[in-house]
Amino acid sequence: MERHAHAKLNLSLDVLGKRPDGYHEMKMVMQSISLSDRLTLEWREEPGVRVRSTLSFLPVGEKNLAAAAALRFYEALEREPPGLVITLEKHIPVCAGMGGGSSDAAAVLRGLNQLEGSPFPPERLAEIGARVGSDVPYCVLGGTALAQGRGEILTILPPLPTCWAVVCKPEFSISTPELFARLDQCRIRCRPDTAGILAALESGDLYGVARRMYNVFEDVLPPRQQNRIAALKHTLIQYGALGVSMSGTGPTVFGLFDAPETARLAQQRLTQDCPETFLCQTV
């Protein structure tokens, strides 16, 4: 079986505080985009779950979220997992704030559920996904959603009006634990207008969503990275983006566009500086 695992963008990301369990209380509006990995699930006689990937540095065992998802699925079925090979054809950049690993895990859950005769409804698959990673429940359901708690409390929202996203992954990565630690040590000065985004989605107002997008992690980036992110956002605005933001804990920057021609020009310009720049549609 082949499945596609769609990347996600954070239209907004707010951190409300640290929880007693060590996680952070999050409030995020999430959106799927057409950029995706392709997964193949194949049975084999040899027992165990293994991962093959077009990226040689990715783990091949349970440390890979795709393999972990398969094991959690069969635990929920109360069965030993059969021999399974998961092949990942990677297109979503790694460590980019777009949920590539989480989306792969979600695609494995959906695929195995279909192969096993759909024993679990989507909501139960999302619960299983929460045992794999905080973004996996959202990636199981996809579309436009509000994610709360540590990401596992989901509310499906009216879909974002069809638009185009230019997505740019700069040449560096960012440590997620380091950014959370920085956030814990400072007072958050600016927060996204989540209520305004929800109202704009309800009324189908793309511009209203785009101009309210914000990610609190942008305020705690190291100065050099913060300047790079700001420069990319400035270029996207110059080329006609309705709104811009950083996704997840970064460093991916994206802009929303209401016309593919304008978005394509922005992509061509940013590709000169960042080879990992993609033109996508919302899903």
What is the domain extent for residue 15?
2-156
- Kindly state the DSSP code that residue 282 receives in the 8-state scheme: B
Backbone angles phi and psi of 14, in degrees to 5: -125, 140
pTM score: 0.94
Q: Which among 107, 131, 156 is the end of a domain?
A: 156
Q: Are residues 133 and 177 in the same domain?
A: no
| Torsion over CA: 237, 164, 89, 6 (sign) | positive
Q: Quote the number of domains for the chain.
A: 2
Tokens of 17: 């505080």
User: What pLDDT, on the 0 to 100 scale, is given for residue 88?
Assistant: 98
Q: Are residues 265 and 152 in the same domain?
A: no
Q: Which among 139, 156, 173 is the end of a domain?
A: 156
Catalytic residue among 14, 37, 104, 135: 135
Q: Are residues 173 and 142 in the same domain?
A: no
Q: What is the CATH number of the domain that holds 201?
A: 3.30.70.890
| 205 tagged catalytic | no
For 231, half-sphere exposure in the C-beta direction (CA atoms, 13 angstrom radius) is 12
Catalytic residue among 8, 27, 169, 233: 8
| 135 tagged catalytic | yes
H-state helical runs in the chain: 65-77, 100-115, 122-130, 136-141, 176-184, 194-202, 206-210, 223-238, 260-271
Q: Which among 129, 156, 183 is the end of a domain?
A: 156
Q: Are residues 111 and 168 in the same domain?
A: no
User: What pLDDT, on the 0 to 100 scale, is given for residue 22?
Assistant: 86
User: What pLDDT, on the 0 to 100 scale, is given for residue 128?
Assistant: 97
For 192, half-sphere exposure in the C-beta direction (CA atoms, 13 angstrom radius) is 32
**Which residue shows structure tokens 């920057």?**
253
d(CA 13, CA 207): 18
Point out the residues of the chain with pLDDT beneath 50: none
Q: Cβ(137)–Cβ(152) under 8 Å?
A: yes
